[in-house]
């Protein structure tokens, strides 16, 4: 693994942990708004992001690369309406996709096929994350103004359970 690819993966660990912080911020917003289903959704998203960070961390360790943990920034977002976290979540997932693509591009350039194989899982995962985030925005736009529909959507999100990723490093 080249120094460039290792550095990008080290940075990605920090970005994944920031994502977890961001999603906990969204969960806090929804908890305060009394939308426990949305709160649950984002708490699970935070768990997923922590797991992603750990997968990258373990991958570096398995390859004898020093892991350098950096400061995790405080989320800087203004959340005034129930749709704000959802829109910010979609934009953030698109940003994370661009980061994964940058690492993939560097690994491809260096013929680092093992890292590319790892990243194949993350590329697929990001496609799912963007689709889920986009669907959440769409549902809120369709139903968020109607109290009964918002209640049903909140109830649907409350039933989501955490499932750890099954990726062999």
d(CA 11, CA 39): 27
d(CA 5, CA 52): 17
- What are the residues whose beta carbons fall under 8 Å from the beta carbon of 45, sequence distance 6 or more? 19, 23, 26, 89
pLDDT tens series, the chain, 169 aa: 999 999 999 999 999 999 999 999 999 999 999 999 999 999 999 999 999 999 999 999 999 999 999 999 999 999 999 999 999 999 999 999 999 999 999 999 999 999 999 999 999 999 999 999 999 999 999 998 899 999 999 999 999 888 887 766 6
What's the per-residue H, E or C state across the chain? CCHHHHHHHHHHHHHHHHHHHHHHHHHHHHHHHCCHHHHHHHHHHHHHHHHHHHHHHHHHHHCCCCCCCCCCCCCCCCCCCCCHHHHHHHHHHHHHHHHHHHHHHHHHHCCCHHHHHHHHHHHHHHHHHHHHHHHHHHHHHHHCCCHHHHHHHHHHHHCCCCCCCCCCC
Phi, psi of 74 (to 5 degrees): -75, 135
pLDDT tens digit string along 6-47? 999 999 999 999 999 999 999 999 999 999 999 999 999 999
- Using alpha carbons only, how large is the chain's radius of gyration in Å? 17
């Amino acid at each position: 693994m080249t120094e460039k690819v290792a550095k990008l993966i080290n940075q990605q660990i920090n970005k994944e942990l920031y994502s977890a912080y961001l999603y906990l911020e969204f969960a806090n917003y929804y908890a305060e708004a009394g939308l426990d289903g949305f709160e649950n959704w984002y708490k699970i998203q935070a768990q997923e992001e922590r797991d992603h960070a750990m997968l990258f961390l373990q991958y570096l360790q398995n390859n004898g690369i020093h892991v350098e943990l950096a400061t995790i920034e405080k989320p800087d977002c203004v959340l005034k309406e129930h749709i704000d976290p959802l829109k910010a979540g979609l934009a953030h997932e698109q940003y994370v996709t661009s980061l994964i693509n940058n690492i993939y591009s560097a690994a491809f350039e260096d013929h680092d096929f093992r890292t590319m194989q790892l990243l194949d899982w993350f590329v697929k995962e990001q496609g799912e994350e963007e689709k889920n985030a986009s669907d959440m925005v769409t549902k809120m736009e369709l139903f968020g103004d109607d109290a009964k529909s918002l209640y049903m959507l909140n109830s649907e999100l409350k039933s989501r359970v955490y499932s750890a990723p099954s990726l062999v490093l």
